[in-house]
Amino acid sequence: MSSLLKILENEVQIAALAFMGLVYSVRLAWVFRFKIGRDRTLPAGSGRSGTGYSLMSIAMPWAMESTRKRPGRYVEFVVFHLGVAAAIAASFIIPYGPGLFETAWVRASFQALIAAAGFVGLVRLARRLTDPVLRAISSPDDYFSLALLIFWLAAGVLAAPNRPQAGEGPLAAFFGLTAFFLVYVPFSKISHYLYYPFTRIYLGRALGHRGAWPPAAAKAAGARPAGEDAA
């Protein structure tokens, strides 16, 4: 392995990761400056139960109308995010635990998952380009981030065997893109996951306080659960 690739797999990644951590720390410090607003109405339910339901809704596709009517979209969501998580794990395994990928089925499992995520990414990009509704709400960052993610996932599939002696191109591409993402993500929509807990806690607490969430409690109380049709 060349010294340049060693630096790219180690020092460059650590520096990019530190930069991401610094930006996220600043953002979180800014977010925590604000106090969560309190609903001043009389409680019709439990804010705590609503918060729990809100946080767990990501694992309940039946709870959201969009995934309830189109379960395939939820499968896409799960595969895409698991593949991205596998690629992130690979960026640590290759330099710091390469022995794990010497086991063929482990390496093949990672490659299959990352490749599946790349395929879902292509489907999502095609949908965003062809669906007029999605096009209307898409920003340049949406296209750029998704296209780059697809390239990164493809590079991850090729880099997983970790054989620099056969050519350092796939490894250099994978770690080069990984470093770029670590610097770019805090400024793109990809960083939505940072705010996910805050929005879900706020929404869950508000709707739980008003008795709309969880739906089972709302039905028991005779209220119409949030997200359900009036008919």
pLDDT per 10-residue tile (average), the chain, 231 residues: 91 96 94 84 88 90 85 93 96 94 95 97 95 92 94 96 91 96 91 89 90 78 53 38
Q: In the prediction, which pLDDT does 212 show?
A: 87
Amino acid identity for residue 181 in this structure? F
Q: In the prediction, which pLDDT does 229 show?
A: 46
CB 138 within 8 A of CB 124: no
What is the distance between the alpha carbons of residues 155 and 178, in angstroms, rounded to a whole number?
A: 10
Q: In the prediction, which pLDDT does 216 show?
A: 76
What is the distance between the alpha carbons of residues 124 and 113, in angstroms, rounded to a whole number?
A: 16
What is the distance between the alpha carbons of residues 160 and 148, in angstroms, rounded to a whole number?
A: 18
Q: In the prediction, which pLDDT does 222 show?
A: 62
Task: Give the DSSP H/E element, type plus range, for residue 158.
Answer: helix 140-159
Q: In the prediction, which pLDDT does 156 show?
A: 96
Per DSSP, the three-state class of 210 is: coil
User: How much is the pTM?
Assistant: 0.85
Backbone torsions φ then ψ of 115, nearest 5 degrees: -65, -40
Nearest to 138 by CA among 183, 78, 189, 196: 189
Cα–Cα distances (Å) from 37 to 43, 68, 129, 155, 192, in that order, read 15, 31, 38, 45, 21
Q: In the prediction, which pLDDT does 223 show?
A: 55
Task: Say if residue 214 is preceded by a cis peptide, omega within 30 of 0.
Answer: yes
CB 146 within 8 A of CB 121: yes
Burial of 45-65, coded b for 16+ CB within 10 Å and e otherwise, reads bbbebbbbbbeebeeebebee
Question: What are 124's two structure tokens?
Answer: 């999502």
Q: In the prediction, which pLDDT does 38 show?
A: 79
